[in-house]
Amino acid sequence: MTAIKKNIAILGSTGSVGTQTLDVIRENGDLFRVFLLTAQSSADLLIEQSLEFDPAYAVICDPSKYNYVKESLAGTLVKVLSGIEAIIETVTHPEIHMVVTAMVGFAGLEPTIAAIKAGKDIALANKETLVVAGELVTGLAQKHNVKILPVDSEHSAIFQCLVGEDLNAIEKIILTASGGPFRGRTPGFLANVTREDALKHPNWVMGAKITIDSATLMNKGFEVMEAKWLFNVDADQVEVIIHPQSIIHSMVQFRDGSIKAQMGLPDMKLPIQYALSHPARIESNFKRLNFVNYPELTFEKPDPETFRNLALAFSALKTGGNMACIVNAANEIAVAGFLNDELGFLGMSEVIEQCMQQIAFVERPVLDDYLNTDKETRIFAKNLIKKMPSKGATVLT
Ligand code: MN3
């Protein structure tokens, strides 16, 4: 190990991945130093984290919380800033080695692009960045010779399976999915599920947005897109398979027919730690998998007719252009609407499909097109939701 600590910036430090990243850093203080922490609006947790980890900068996005955070950290050396512009600027600081992008949703795109342009390696937890603008982001990473290390457990698994392999030798990627809380259910059942039902994920503890995305399988659709961009494969080279035990985190099948899998108990800290320490593996005290406790590992086909978001994601990926950006924006608004009881579970797919049909298609988008598409789709989706019944919405009038 080198004597120089890796300086880490964590965008979205108060969320699920952010706090687990800090857990990993706390255990490996000899290797990593926290340089920048950012939060959307969780001021108290950001203050607590800043007092513990003593970063050079703490950015609170919500300007109404700025004075409170600043006053609370007045006796420290932490520089407190506010707003998305401050994040975009501080993320390029010359002392930062790696940026963990753990912000939720589309908001992660601009800071990630800024970090890549400044030559920072990216530990990518914000999958929306690749979903929305995969071509742009991976192109920039190549140009600036920046590594994108996946934090998403499936993509970390694939990445680990590919160590020492040639990307050209990939026949297909087998992306595993837990199936979420509604595995095996019918559309009739889904029409009446509540927010509380959808927030109960069987295997992973995550933020609210990604938990709903897991229940609708939108998350898996996004992960197919993420895999396409990270590993340079076509949509039809990615197979989604339901594996309820979440022990195999994903697999790669090579052109000789051999399949490699990466396994372990579901714990996000492992992929986070691997992204931070890559190419080294460092010791951990994470719980070990004992196969005897899992005598049955089972596999099923997903049902894209019940979980329409998965089919919509594949369709968007085949269409290309700004279509995935439309899906992402529509989904963010739909999920927020569902969490606010403004529409039913099936209504989320309805909103996404309507947006895919109605929002202007751009075949070769640049950054401004993505920003415009995102904005336009959100407005359209919000208006759509106002016209929808709050429960069991399947038909729009
Ligand atoms: Mn995942």
CATH of the domain at 53: 3.40.50.720
pLDDT at 107 over 90: no
Residue 315 in any domain: the answer is no
Residue 313 in any domain: the answer is no
Mean pLDDT of 346-372: 96
Measured CA distances, 43 to 10, 87, 98, 379 (Å): 15, 15, 24, 28
- 176 C-alpha to center of ligand 1: Å? 9
pLDDT at 396 over 80: no
- Asked if 58 contacts 69 with a C-beta cutoff of 8 angstroms, the reply is yes
- 219 C-alpha to center of ligand 1: Å? 7
Same structural domain, 224 and 264: yes
How far apart CA 138 and CA 232 sit, in angstroms, is 10
- 125 C-alpha to center of ligand 1: Å? 9
- Total-model pTM: 0.92
Last residue of a domain, one of 95, 118, 150: 150
- 290 C-alpha to center of ligand 1: Å? 22
- 102 C-alpha to center of ligand 1: Å? 13
Mean pLDDT of 200-226: 88
pLDDT digits (tens, 9 = 90+) for 53-82: 999 999 999 999 999 999 999 999 999 999
pLDDT at residue number 391: 59
How far apart CA 115 and CA 148 sit, in angstroms, is 11
pLDDT digits (tens, 9 = 90+) for 363-394: 999 999 999 999 999 999 999 999 987 754 44
- 135 C-alpha to center of ligand 1: Å? 20
Same structural domain, 158 and 134: no
- Asked if 30 contacts 118 with a C-beta cutoff of 8 angstroms, the reply is no
- 359 C-alpha to center of ligand 1: Å? 28
Per the structure block, which two tokens stand in for 316? Answer: 């968007």
Return the H-helix or E-strand segment holding 105. none
Last residue of a domain, one of 275, 304, 333: 304
- 144 C-alpha to center of ligand 1: Å? 27
How far apart CA 55 and CA 14 sit, in angstroms, is 14
How far apart CA 108 and CA 133 sit, in angstroms, is 11
User: What's the total number of domains in the chain?
Assistant: 3
Same structural domain, 244 and 358: no
Query: For residue 80, which of 102, 60, 100 has the smallest C-alpha distance?
Result: 60
pLDDT at residue number 104: 86
Residue 184 in any domain: the answer is yes
Same structural domain, 117 and 173: no
Amino acid at 306: T
Task: State which residues form the domain around 334.
Answer: 320-392
